[in-house]
Amino acid sequence: MKQLANNKELYDYLVVLAAKLRVGGAESLADMVFTASKQAAGLSADFLGESRIALRKLSDSDEVVLSDADREDLADVLRQLSSALDRRHPPK
Amino acid sequence: MNPATGANAWGKSVLPSRWESAQSIRVLLAPEPAPSLAASEWPVSRSGQTTLRPKTRVGGFWRRRQNRARRNRPQLPKLRRVARRVPTKTASVHTLARYYEPTSGRFLSADPAGHASSPSLYDFAGGDPVNNFDPDGRCAHGDGSPFNFNTGLIPTPGDPIVWGQNPNDPNLGGIVGRAQQWGSLGMTDADYQALADALGMGGNWANLGESEKQFFGSTAANLLQRQAAGYNIGEQWSTVVGSVPGLAMSDEQRLAFAMGMGAVGVVTGITTDKEGGPIIQPTAAKPPSIATPYAIEEQSPSEEAQAALAQAQNGATLYRTGQTGVSMTGESQYWTLENPQGPGFANGLGTPPEVQPDFVMTGKLNPGATVITNEAPGLGTNTGGGIQVVTAPGGVGNLGFHMP
């Protein structure tokens, strides 16, 4: 299970993920994820929010670039982002 | 029991109440199983003829027994009636100033603006919801002035994100203009459903009340105009309503939606008596909240957040930071009272030191703008960081830009 210890680890994860996508030929997805990583320079809510939007689009994408293990990590990260952003609104 | 007072050994009356007495009489008068009487046992009149119905002794009184048809009908178990108020569940919308109760189409408290806006202090939109609109519960904007949902203020000329009140406003065209007027043109359920579908919402709109439909048309006009101005309303729409597109909406969601961006919180579970009597108690008041593309941000009850809220509302400088050339979905709704260039900012708000910001924006809260403060979100050790200030889009003005 992919467990992020802090925002910095999310940033590292996004940078590596963008590189994987670029190597796999998914340029647009790579740009999207990389752009989200740049939000790390801003406020935490912007960073986590933009990251979740980008990762959700990646998760919904039909382009098969990621391995099964990568997709599991992606789901884990999305779960942690939702937990952080919706902490006052737990899923019903 | 004391025969004089009817009190038992503990001093409590054991005499039946008026209601219980009535029930007792009903029980005593209830039909009993018909005894099998031989013809010779039937009551006989003085003239020697049998009476139509035999008498029976009930509760010490002679009473004619009921006729055969009534006696033989199926005996249903009697349900004890309890004299109590039947609670019903309604929902009210909390606008910026007071609660609105859509069932009656009235506010639950007096207009804080006084009689200047309406002869009645409780009417919605001055009693004319077709031509007026009262998004914050303080007055009716019915003079043709456009209302800016982003700031809650009458906007300055040229503001592209304006909800026009006047149906003849040239800015309102096509579906926007129609939606604006639908409330007064007898829009059908199919029309509302089509509009909801066009906005990607779905849901069953046939159950809406008339006043809610008028709100719906107005709110849809606002959102469509925002969409036409290039704003991505999808996230806001779904977060304001609190539902996933395509799912049926609850009453609470419909009401929140009906008040549109003017609704900052919804109260559900308000109990009234069956006759629509006075409100007894609000049971689930929610704190003020603001929808952003990322989440619904609620006001934090912590002392730190409350202090930050007061600072922001009193004109303290707000900061934002980031990197130039990086587009984002948000509309600068997140701010902080802490200077990003100060020590500890990165730790408190979770900025990785490897990613240095190359700009800092400063600004102040616009008068009357909706704002809440709460703890910035974060992962792991960054959780529970510094206090963030969240405003509606365009809530911060007097902007400055600095590149460190």
The phi and psi torsions of B400 (rounded to 5 degrees) equal -125, 155
Closest Cβ opposite residue B334 in set A3, A6, A43: A43
Domain count, chain A: 1
The phi and psi torsions of B399 (rounded to 5 degrees) equal -75, 145
Report the residue of chain B nearest A5, measured CA to CA.
B380
Q: How does pLDDT run along chain B (404 residues), one tens digit per residue?
A: 454 444 444 444 444 444 444 443 343 333 444 444 444 455 555 555 555 555 555 555 555 555 666 666 666 555 555 555 444 444 455 454 566 665 566 677 666 655 555 566 777 666 655 445 555 555 544 433 333 333 333 333 333 323 333 333 333 333 333 333 333 334 456 655 665 555 554 455 555 555 455 555 555 555 555 555 554 444 444 333 333 333 344 444 443 343 332 322 222 333 333 333 333 233 344 577 888 888 888 888 888 888 999 999 899 999 888 877 776 766 778 898 887 777 666 555 556 767 777 788 889 998 888 899 988 888 877 765 578 999 988 888 877 887 76
User: In a mutagenesis test of the B interface, which of A46, A53, A86, A89 is the best target, namely the one with the most B β-carbons within 10 Å?
Assistant: A46
| DSSP bridge pairs for B388 | B336, B374
Q: Is the dihedral of CA B275, B127, B113, B391 positive or negative?
A: positive
Contact B379 A41 (CB under 8 A): no
Residues within 8 A of B (CB atoms), A 45-84 only: 45-50, 52-53, 80-81, 84
User: Which residues form the domain of A79?
Assistant: 7-85
- Domain annotation covers residue A2: no
User: In a mutagenesis test of the B interface, which of A33, A44, A76, A82 is the best target, namely the one with the most B β-carbons within 10 Å?
Assistant: A44
- Domain annotation covers residue A92: no
The phi and psi torsions of B91 (rounded to 5 degrees) equal -135, 145
Q: Cα–Cα distance between B173 and B184 in angstroms, integer?
A: 16
Cα angle B285, B288, B292 (rounded to 5 degrees) comes to 130
Closest Cβ opposite residue A5 in set B335, B358, B380: B380
- Domain annotation covers residue A1: no
- Domain annotation covers residue A52: yes
Closest among B379, B357, B392 to B155, alpha carbons compared: B392
Closest among B383, B306, B388 to A87, alpha carbons compared: B383
**How high is the ipTM of this complex?**
0.88
Minimal CA separation from A11 to chain B, in Å: 8
What type of residue sits at position B280?
Answer: I
Contact A45 B294 (CB under 8 A): yes
- Domain annotation covers residue A90: no
A13 close to B (CB below 8 A): no
| Pairing of β B371-375 and β B359-365 | unpaired
Closest Cβ opposite residue A45 in set B334, B356, B380: B334
Q: Cα–Cα distance between B139 and B117 in angstroms, integer?
A: 5
